[in-house]
Amino acid sequence: MEELQSYVGNSEIFPILKFVDFFNHAGVSPLPKSAAQAFIDFAFQISSLAYVQANWHPLIDQTRQIAAEMLNCQKTEIAFIKNTSEGLSIVANGIDWKTGDRIVTSNVEYPANMYPWMNVVARFGAELVKVEEEADTDGRRVVPLEKILKAADHDRTRLVALSHVEFASGQRHDLKSIGAFCRARGILLSIDAIQSMGAVPVDVAEMSIDYLSADGHKWMLAPEGAGIFYCRKELLEKTRPLTIGWMNVVNAQDFGKYDFTLRADSGRFECGSHNVPGLLALRESLRLLHGLGAKAVANRIKQLGDHLISGLESKGYAIASPRSVDQWSGIISFGSPSHSPDAIAATLRKEHRIELMVRHGRLRAAPHFYNTEAQMDRLVSLLP
């Protein structure tokens, strides 16, 4: 924790601190200086020497290894994707669906985790079951675990597709319980982890996750267009690639010999040349986060969130995000009965250089570990 504290409020590591009170890591995150430097170094290399003397591919391989360590899986189970939608679409298009197969999700998913399954319904006659969000006894917005399990407890259920953390409410699902339930019944579990990876620990083995997709541009503090797809090794050869190109196959570098044998590892999902600068920047951000440790980062985010909530409640704002031990996340969703959230967000941005978002008619703050309590207090003081 002492090492992490040296990053808090450090504008040399996080230059955004000099310019904006940034609380939208659930949207598109600013880059730490090391990730931005990776872009600069790549640009210099490509402009002065092109690929001559470049060392990109070993570094990209390191990115894959770090991601695997963060998720507690093997490097061979990690593929690079351009965004979360691509990873989810690999699953939706890579499974042999049958008419009547059930897909269970929630009714408050981000569109990236809804349209691929709607497409499966349209193409193959599957059934999409959406478990509804509701208010719990404390008025917090949740999709109840017991209702997810009840919806999935059906002999035709083929797959459960959920966000680890819901983008609007900030609810974190109990994936350990959901995963164990699914694995025991032979149900596949596909997770959109873009709102959790980099903010809270994600363990694909402990959570019995079959597929996981996450772009790097939110809590992983990386650029858009550089993301991670996990496929459990037992499912690699049972999942068709979304797109076929020169890199999906064995001996891809043997350009004069056509051998349409797909790779046995996660590389089968990578169809062509990598987003080299994006993955080099992703490497730097993952090195930072992994070096600090997922639990330390999560504890700091929880501490900041609790501090912010205390101030919000003292000022009369209603908190929509659940905060129990197994449901809290980095997202704080809150609202006022008498003020427009859109007007508040616009004023904070224009007049005070404070950045947060409005989602589902509520304000959404998403601070990361390097933000400060003083920034939280300033936000609260400026709210009407």
**In this structure, are 130 and 216 located in the same domain?**
yes
Last residue within a domain, chosen from 267, 291, 315: 291
Judge if 349 and 274 occupy the same domain: no
User: Does 261 lie in the same domain as 207?
Assistant: yes
Q: 136 and 119, same structural domain?
A: yes
* Whole-number percent of the chain with pLDDT over 70: 99
Give the confidence band of 77 by pLDDT, cuts at 50, 70, 90. very high
Mean of pLDDT values over 175-204: 98
pTM: 0.96
Nearest to 279 by CA among 68, 25, 82, 10: 82
Q: What local confidence, expressed as pLDDT, does residue 137 receive?
A: 87
Average pLDDT over residues 197-222: 98
Domain termination residue (choose one: 291, 318, 339):
291
Residue range of the domain that includes 367: 2-28+293-382
At residue 93, the pLDDT reads 97
Q: Is residue 33 part of a domain?
A: no
Q: Are residues 66 and 172 in the same domain?
A: yes
Distance CA 317, CA 310 (A): 10
pLDDT tens-digit profile of 133-152?
999 988 999 999 999 999 99
Q: What is the pLDDT of residue 2?
A: 62
CATH of the domain at 176: 3.40.640.10
In a domain, 199, yes or no: yes
Q: What is the CATH number of the domain that holds 375?
A: 3.90.1150.10
**211 vs 274: CA distance, rounded Å:** 21
Residue 34 lies in a domain: no
The predicted pLDDT at position 162 comes to 98
Please check whether residue 209 is in contact with residue 189, taking contact to mean a CB–CB distance below 8 angstroms: yes
Q: How confident is the model at residue 1 (pLDDT cuts 50, 70, 90)?
A: low
- Structural domain count, the chain: 2
Per-residue pLDDT, averaged over 64-87, amounts to 98
Q: Which residue has the tokens 């809804």?
A: 114
Q: Does residue 78 carry a pLDDT above 90?
A: yes
Judge if 299 and 276 occupy the same domain: no
Mean pLDDT of 205-233: 98
Q: Report yes or no on 46 lying in a domain.
A: no
Does 320 score more than 90 pLDDT? yes
Amino acid at 74: Q
| Same domain flag for 24 and 133 | no
Q: What is the mean pLDDT of residues 232-239?
A: 98
Looking at the structure, tell me whether residues 128 and 142 fall in a common domain: yes
Over residues 18-30, the mean pLDDT reads 98
- Band of residue 358 on the pLDDT scale cut at 50, 70, 90: very high
Token look-up 């149900």 returns: 187
Half-sphere exposure (CA, 13 Å, Cβ side) for 72?
12
- For position 123, what pLDDT does the model report? 96
- Does residue 351 sit in the same domain as residue 315? yes
Do 332 and 170 contact (CB within 8 A), yes or no?
yes
Pick from 291, 317, 343: which residue ends a domain? 291
The pLDDT mean for the chain works out to 97
